[in-house]
Homo-oligomer: A and B are copies of this chain.
Amino acid sequence: MMKKVQSFPPNRPRSPILTIVAMALALMGGAVLAVDDSGSRTHATGQFDAATNTYTVAAGDDLTTIGRRFGTSVADLKALNALTGDRIIIGQSLTVSEGAAAAPARSDKPQADANADADPLPSWNDGPAKQAIVAFVHTVTDPSNPGYVSELDRIATFDNDGTLWVEHPMYTQLAFALDRIKALAPQHPEWQTTQPFKAVLDNDLDALGAAGKKGLIELVMASHAGMTTSEFEAIVTDWMDKARHPRFDRPYTSLTYQPMQELLAYLRANGFKTFIVSGGGVEFMRPMTEQVYGIPPEQVVGSTIETQYEVQDGKPVLMREAKIDFIDDKTGKPVGINKFIGRRPIAAFGNSAGDREMLEWTAAGDGPRLMMLVFHDDADREYAYGPADGLEDTPFGTFPQDLMDEAKEKGWQVISMKDDWKQVFASNE
């Protein structure tokens, strides 16, 4: 049904029904992984020497579990120990950022400027995008510059899907939802004969398309609601550990963009507070953002479903209800920024029509502003889709021509993945 994963879908269907068909197509082509509920991630258990601030790697450790123990992101651990990949060996000594009590680490604070002369954006080719970033940061951090911005107002917001990590052949959260339906099917024998679930289980494209938007919402609710928030977090964490991207055969959390990781770190080193503002579900993202991006849960804005406080067996829980609370997309992004962050960003980064209003809202403030859009024009290393500039159309991360025109007219920077990035993914393992 599909020739190459990276060229999916062949011709972008426009109607909602056909969008769902496209989503289903993605499902049929993707490597679907059942969720195994046994086990969950733990903290690293090896020896920590407070005198030397080093941790000795033990069996079963990885950078994620070590980072979790010491409250440090994988990116920071790698930077501290000059690691180029994620591989560590038992017995290896690692410096962890958490040291003496007088100088505790927090990934979201400025870091010591030990490598002031080093290029903070080594994965960016020298070009207008990189130059715009560096010039903007110099302007807002120089107290003698009229464009100087107080550190408290250095707020930068990032879309997630397609801006910080891969979103093709389908949104990662949709892959999760479909996997989850398959994993739950044994407990729901009625799904064998009830649409839209039967369609997912049968990989039946026509039936899934016929279920329409209502059917898609039913699928999302069945996979995302009806459990406590703690249970959902465990399910998501387990899936993130085990699921693999169908083309790259790597965990989704390893398919973040290295240039954007460097940008996040560069901004934070210059006193910015970095936020994710995504259409994705906030509780789908939060279990991984600290470790993967160095962004703590409270700096993640996203779509929410309603939760209900209940006391079960004497213990309070929050039940996830099958009801949408807030959609953080398009005009919802400025609304979400105002609701969750409470002030206007001075820099915003996106990649699709869903980010247009966030960039407009950011641009409308006074003083220096930086608005950038990642354009996926690199089918060899990642994907190429638009439909802007004649690239293939897609329902996932659509970048329409009028957004490209608006960016050019308003001076927003468009980042060409092909031309501006030396390296795409954060890790090559």
| Chain A residues within CB distance 8 Å of chain B | 48, 50, 69-71, 98, 101-107, 109-110, 112-113, 141, 143-144, 150-153, 229, 271, 273, 275, 282-283, 286, 290, 296-300, 304, 307-309, 311, 315-316, 318, 325, 331-332, 334-335, 338-343, 357, 360-361, 364
For this chain, the copies found in one complex come to 2
Contact status B152-A290, CB under 8 Å:
yes
Q: Is the interface of A mostly helix, strand, loop or mixed?
A: mixed
**Least CB separation from A320: chain B residue:** B338
The residue from B50, B98, B152 contacting A71, defined by CB atoms under 8 A apart: B152
Contact status A335-B316, CB under 8 Å:
no
**Given known A309-B334, A309-B335, A364-B316, contact A297–B342 (CB-CB < 8 A):** yes
C-alpha gap A14/B329 in the complex (Å): 43
**Given known A335-B307, A357-B316, contact A343–B298 (CB-CB < 8 A):** yes
Q: Distance (Å) between the CB of A271 and the closest chain B CB?
A: 5
The 30 listed contacts between A and B (C-beta, < 8 Å) are A50-B144, A69-B150, A98-B150, A101-B141, A101-B143, A102-B112, A104-B151, A105-B151, A106-B151, A106-B152, A106-B271, A107-B152, A152-B290, A152-B296, A229-B338, A275-B298, A282-B342, A283-B342, A297-B342, A307-B335, A308-B335, A309-B331, A309-B334, A311-B360, A316-B334, A316-B357, A316-B361, A318-B334, A318-B335, A325-B339
Taking CB atoms, residues of chain B closer than 8 Å to A152 are 71, 106-107, 290, 296
Contact status A338-B357, CB under 8 Å:
no
Contact status B340-A298, CB under 8 Å:
yes
Contact status A364-B315, CB under 8 Å:
yes
Taking CB atoms, residues of chain B closer than 8 Å to A286 are 342-343
**Given known A271-B104, A331-B309, contact A71–B150 (CB-CB < 8 A):** yes
C-alpha gap A286/B361 in the complex (Å): 19
**Least CB separation from A343: chain B residue:** B297
Taking CB atoms, residues of chain B closer than 8 Å to A296 are 152
C-alpha gap A143/B275 in the complex (Å): 29
Contact status A102-B106, CB under 8 Å:
no
The 9 closest A-B pairs by CB, nearest first: A297-B342, A71-B152, A309-B331, A71-B150, A298-B341, A286-B342, A104-B271, A104-B151, A309-B334
**Least CB separation from A357: chain B residue:** B309
Taking CB atoms, residues of chain B closer than 8 Å to A273 are 298
